[in-house]
Amino acid sequence: MSTVLVIGAGDLGERLAAGLAAHPGVRRLLLAGRSGPQVADAVTTVLSSHDCLVEPVRLDALRVEDVASLLATSRPDLVVQCASRRSPWELVGRDDPVARAVAAAGIALRLPYQLAVPHAVMRAAREAGFPGPIANLSLPDVTGPILAALDLAPTIGLGNAGVVLLRARAAWRAAHPDAANTPLIRVVGHHAQVFDVMRADPPADPARRCRIYLDEPGHRDDDLAYQAPGLAPGPRYNHVTAAAALPVLTALLPDAPPLRWSAPAPHGLPGGYPVRIHDQAVSLDLPEGVTAEDAIAFNQRMSTGDGIDHIDDDGTVHFTPTCQEAVADIAADIAEPLPIADLAARAARLDDLLQS
């Protein structure tokens, strides 16, 4: 019976905590967050719904020493990192010039909000000598390779490629209503492609579509990713993200059966890939004839859709010309190269702009 630590008590953190608490292999669940009342409400909801020990933890996950201490004392079998400085949905519904420009630049421009917490958590894990798996929900397709450059990569990311997998499965089932089983479906794709998949709006250029592989031989059917009913962007996507994440999390528990799935950033790779999870270890599960080098190169090309031009060996992020142009008339400095050491200062600069 396992102990799981979930860091982040927002909407998705609570959803994942509830899903894990319902699993028979989880005996004890720690739900940690900065806001005491929010954590208490989430814990009460989960423990009232499932036969699992659920405990609240007040934690500022940006404080490396506090996270390291929690890991050392609680000794979880699995850590789920769901926290960020700000929600990626925060700009939804805003129509002011600054919000429009920042949104148009791509989600990578808001990396100071999405990277700071997983960076602190992974530093804490190294400091505490934590040996178990860590799954990261905070923009893993982009934060994963940055952290990998620092030798701090989480075990795996959550959502994104798994969301595409679920959408492709839904489309396949609709086309084959009498089939007894859904075939093996494997996805190579990047977070930058997920919104088109959710809206059922395939890119005009077939080369920029997610790669979908069917059955063991890996027959390509990329259109399948875009054939489920469309859904406009918004927090409702969290339902699908949680559904895509939970099989990965339960497969990472001790003594869990093996799982073949698709997920972002295994060991810090850019974008998402088919994976095998067994004995709390993650490996690529690419179809025969598809090399890791080709899949990685594809995802690196797709990352421009999020505003990423390239990432230096020291983790410094360089933004695309399109990203830079989007904010040139608002604040050109926020699209300058972003070193890890500048995360806090760049986050404060974004706060000033978005709250003015």
pLDDT tens digit string along 57-88? 999 999 999 999 999 999 999 999 999 999 99
Pairing relationship of beta strands 272-278 and 281-284 according to DSSP bridges = antiparallel
Give the mean pLDDT of 128-155: 98
- C-alpha of 4 from chain center: 18
Beta carbons of 284 and 266 less than 8 angstroms apart: yes
Closest CA to 187 of 199, 197, 178: 197
Closest CA to 264 of 279, 274, 256, 250: 274
pLDDT digits (tens, 9 = 90+) for 145-202: 999 999 999 999 999 999 999 999 999 999 999 999 999 999 999 999 999 999 999 9
Give the mean pLDDT of 104-133: 97
| Per-residue pLDDT at 38 | 95
Q: Are residues 114 and 183 in the same domain?
A: no
Q: Are residues 14 and 128 in the same domain?
A: yes
Nearest-angstrom CA–CA distance, 144 and 282: 14
pTM of the model: 0.96
Nearest-angstrom CA–CA distance, 102 and 131: 38
Q: Are residues 97 and 167 in the same domain?
A: no
148: its two tokens: 């990998």
With respect to residue 251, please indicate whether it lies within any of the assigned structural domains: yes
Residue 93 banded pLDDT, cuts 50, 70, 90:
confident
Nearest-angstrom CA–CA distance, 285 and 60: 36
Domain of 204? 161-304
Q: Are residues 125 and 222 in the same domain?
A: no
Last residue of a domain, one of 272, 304, 336: 304
Q: Are residues 173 and 90 in the same domain?
A: no
Q: Are residues 150 and 215 in the same domain?
A: no
| Per-residue pLDDT at 1 | 82
Beta carbons of 218 and 289 less than 8 angstroms apart: yes
With respect to residue 315, please indicate whether it lies within any of the assigned structural domains: no
Q: Are residues 119 and 230 in the same domain?
A: no
Backbone angles phi, psi at 312, to 5 degrees: -70, 170
Q: Residue by residue, what is the 3-state secondary structure of 104-164? A: HHCHHHHHHHHHHHHHHHHHHHHHHCCCCCEEECCCHHHHHHHHHHCCCCCCEECCCHHHH
**What Rg do the C-alpha atoms of the chain give, in angstroms?**
20
pLDDT digits (tens, 9 = 90+) for 261-315: 999 999 999 999 999 999 999 999 999 999 999 999 999 999 999 999 999 999 9
With respect to residue 351, please indicate whether it lies within any of the assigned structural domains: no
Q: Are residues 274 and 228 in the same domain?
A: yes
Q: Are residues 207 and 97 in the same domain?
A: no
Last residue of a domain, one of 157, 173, 208: 157
Our count of domains for the chain comes to 2
Q: What is the DSSP letter of 87?
A: -
Last residue of a domain, one of 102, 131, 157: 157
Q: Are residues 239 and 167 in the same domain?
A: yes
| Per-residue pLDDT at 158 | 98
**Rounded percentage of the chain residues whose pLDDT exceeds 70:** 100
With respect to residue 283, please indicate whether it lies within any of the assigned structural domains: yes
126: its two tokens: 């190294």
Q: Are residues 180 and 292 in the same domain?
A: yes
Beta carbons of 280 and 198 less than 8 angstroms apart: no
Beta carbons of 114 and 88 less than 8 angstroms apart: yes
Give me the CATH number covering residue 258: 3.90.110
21 has pLDDT over 90: yes
With respect to residue 354, please indicate whether it lies within any of the assigned structural domains: no
Q: Are residues 64 and 113 in the same domain?
A: yes
Closest CA to 266 of 98, 194, 16, 251: 251
With respect to residue 171, please indicate whether it lies within any of the assigned structural domains: yes
| Per-residue pLDDT at 278 | 98
Query: Average pLDDT, whole number, for the chain?
Result: 97
Cα angle 233, 296, 152; round to 5: 85
With respect to residue 98, please indicate whether it lies within any of the assigned structural domains: yes
Nearest-angstrom CA–CA distance, 35 and 15: 17
Give me the CATH number covering residue 57: 3.40.50.720
Nearest-angstrom CA–CA distance, 209 and 220: 12
With respect to residue 312, please indicate whether it lies within any of the assigned structural domains: no
| Per-residue pLDDT at 9 | 95
